Amino acid sequence: MSQNMETTYNPKAIEPKLYEKWCKNKYFHAEVDRDRKPFTIVMPPPNITGKLHMGHALDNTLQDILIRYKRMQGYNALWVPGTDHAAISTEVKVTNQLKEEGIDKKEIGREKFLERTWQWKEEYGGTIKSQLKKLGISCDWDRERFTMDEGCSKAVEEVFIKLYEEGYIYKGSRIINWCPVCKTSLSDAEVEHEEQDGYFWHIKYPIVGTDDYLEIATTRPETMLGDTAIAVHPDDERYKAIVGKTCKLPLTDREIPIVADYYVDKEFGTGAVKITPAHDPNDFEVGKRHNLPEINIMNDDATINAQYGGKYAGMDRYEAREAMVKDLKEQGYLVKVVPHSHNVGTHDRCHTTVEPLVKQQWFVKMEELAKPAINAIKTGELKFVPERFDKIYLHWLENIRDWCISRQIWWGHRIPAYYCDACGEVVVARQMPEVCPKCGCKHFTQDEDTLDTWFSSALWPFSTLGWPEKTEDLDYFYPTDVLVTGYDIIFFWVIRMVFSGYAHTGKSPFHTVFIHGLVRDSQGRKMSKSLGNGIDPLEIIDKYGADALRMTLVTGNAPGNDMRFYNERVEASRNFANKVWNASRFIMMNIEGREITEPKDVNARPGDCWIMSRCNNLVKDVTENMDKFELGIALQKVYDFIWDEFCDWYIELAKYRIYHAEEDAEAANDAMWTLREVLKKALKLLHPFMPFVSEEIYSNLCPEEASLMMSEWPVYDESWSFPEAENIAEHFKAIVKGVRNVRAEMNVPNSRKAKVYVVCEDQTLCAGFEALKQSAIMMAAANDFLIQQDKTGIADDAVSVVVPDATVYVPLEELIDFEQEMERLRKEESRLTKEIARSNGMLNNEKFVSKAPAAKVQEEKDKLEKYQQMMDQVKERLEGLKAKMS
């Protein structure tokens, strides 16, 4: 027991040892068991290029809390871990590594490059796994998956072929995000929007056949080479007469039509906008409605192409912008230049400004696939915690565009499309075809592109359980239960998993999406390399322990909200772990070697009943909070109970009986039994949040049990409910606090003992105080604790402490400064006067009385009655002191 516990808690020594024990005993592992109800979570797979950051730490801590909680509740809890191949990010890493060796990836070719990438994955891909283990996460490492392992790759191939055969996947030209440096298309998830200072260039577009012109404002003048129309609003009276006419496109010999389209905001700017279908997603849609040509003016490296560039051909886009603006000015087309700050998309990997371009790519038709995902929210089959994220989810789905799934890189799932070398026929198949079904040619070339990383991670909840095979795991553990993720990837990942789940399994992949916010620095800023404000979770773990980090991340954390990270909070969390450790050592040192039995009559001991009842209420409250995903609230309640009620009050309350065990063995036994049983329940409630310190203590407290994490979660027990004892204890605490406050205000040292008188007319309270007498003497630094119904025998100069339903008197004749006591009572009189005025004000307010809940009104009436009772006692005491001093 206590001899196995070090004097101080040392997480560095304890955490690795415990984690190894958990893994060795397969406590995290789950197998199909039809006699138990499953609870499944799939880990959002971190990139193999990544290392643990605060976002990972928060996300995985929340998942671990849920899985440990459900495991203790008896569920067959499965948490599937894994990593994502992170296509573009990994390709960049390996390409840069090759560059350092003086090797161009194009020189070694695709196969050799992929060999190097797999080598890189084996060497560095497991970094984040080892780091996650330091956090204490209890996922099933035996089931670890990778988005490019054999099973997941088979699922990706199956889905592509299935969607292609059903007509949902097609190859066509549409606007996509293009990175000119990485030379690949990007998903929306790979584009970061940042505020950049720029300009609005106002340009004249002459109306052909007139002396008039339209004034157009643009932030990207270089794209005007690809303009194919000017659009105005159909109801804009200013322009109705010119719709159908044409404009001269400056710097070119082309004329472009003026069209009417409801896309235009007639209140913004001049109410006329240039339409460049090949370089803007909104313009692309306008172009489709008016059958406008799509003129792509750029090469893949964002230089102006020869076909449409004229004198600007070969220039970089920004070089061309500068040259064109100069020419516009010289030729009289430039009206003005206005500074303008706007959001610009950049590639999240190389930070290059992304160029919207029309490209031949593979797409998924989204309109029909989105419908079941929309319906899931509307029917309640899927819910978000908190609910406000429903709107974001629905807005995106209801305005969804076709999804560009092809990438111009080598690392990833290669598209299973094959082109006939003779006639160009496209064949989508699991293997390269032997004969072209159209011309009979036997030579094919596979599509060079790979699939968007999100295409594989969209299948994660079911591909990790064996789909497309009809496995027992899939049948038992799927659909999963909860997805835990940040609000920043609702669109990119959550939505894709939901519609993929319906499309391929007929079910939503999970019933709840638990959304958390971002971890920000102490100033509320997003952590980033550029700001240099990132905090390494591993450094925090090394210094304070994993439990302290976990507690800091969860305390005060409400679903969906960002949180600020303070080192002071980590220190406070570490201090709490030490508090629990020290209190537990004290308990075990005193029960060691004793045969502790259940009390014969617990009702006879109000202190024991109180802490048992408070613990019982805590079990109920925390369980309700956990079920509502209010993890921060649940942890705060456990913290408050352990620190305040259990350690600071009950242990102190029990000390007299423990220290005087020889005088009353039964009383000592009952105190020790209560300490042990309440500590056991408290450790169970604490375990999901702080698994290491709770496990280490529990294994010493209950060495006969295999592990705390495999023990049963506490449940509310009516036999542990003692409301009367709670009432007695709360009054008792008020008395002790009052005496301590008086002594502190008067600087009376604890070595100076004095009698404490409690005057109370309530017989039940008096009996309870009598039962707690010896503890009160210790806790109030008294030499006696006397309970009576009137002031008989109490000196007139005794200091009074007014508490609800009782008055406490402490005769300190030789220690008291009467003027000081008068001043203290006057302050109390002033405080109570304000409280009574506030209560009267509320109760005399018709709006409050008529609109507030009846319970709230009654609560205020009860407060007023209490304040008035206390005021009477204060005034009585003041009058007594005045008489004494006169």
Residues flagged as binding site for ATP: 529
Long-range residue pairs from 333-338, CB within 8 A, at least 24 positions apart, any chain: 333/203, 333/204, 333/250, 333/251, 334/201, 334/202, 334/203, 334/204, 335/202, 335/203, 335/204, 335/215, 336/202, 337/199, 337/200, 337/201, 337/202, 338/199, 338/200, 338/202, 338/217
Query: How big is the chain, counted in residues?
Result: 886
Please report the beta strands in 563-663, taking only residues with DSSP state E, as ranges in sequence order. 563-564
Cis peptide leading into residue 479 (ω within 30°): yes
Q: Are strands 255-260 and 450-451 parallel, antiparallel or unpaired?
A: unpaired
Amino acid symbol at 287: G
Residues in a beta bridge with 193: 345
Helix (H, G, I), strand (E, B) or coil at 534: coil
Nearest of 57, 141, 51, 129 to residue 548 by alpha carbon: 57
CB atoms within 10 A of CB 166: 12
Contacts of 475 (CB under 8 A, 6+ apart): none
Known binding residues are 529
Give CA–CA dist 652/189, Å, rounded. 56
* 3-class SS string, 403-432: EECEECCCCCCECCEEEECCCCCEEECCCC
Give CA–CA dist 651/705, Å, rounded. 25
Give CA–CA dist 506/508, Å, rounded. 7
Give CA–CA dist 276/286, Å, rounded. 9
Answer for the pair 635, 622: CB distance below 8 angstroms, yes or no.
no
Give CA–CA dist 219/273, Å, rounded. 12
Helix (H, G, I), strand (E, B) or coil at 394: helix
Nearest of 757, 773, 772, 762 to residue 808 by alpha carbon: 757
Phi, psi dihedrals of residue 265, rounded to the nearest 5°: -90, 105
CB atoms within 10 A of CB 397: 20
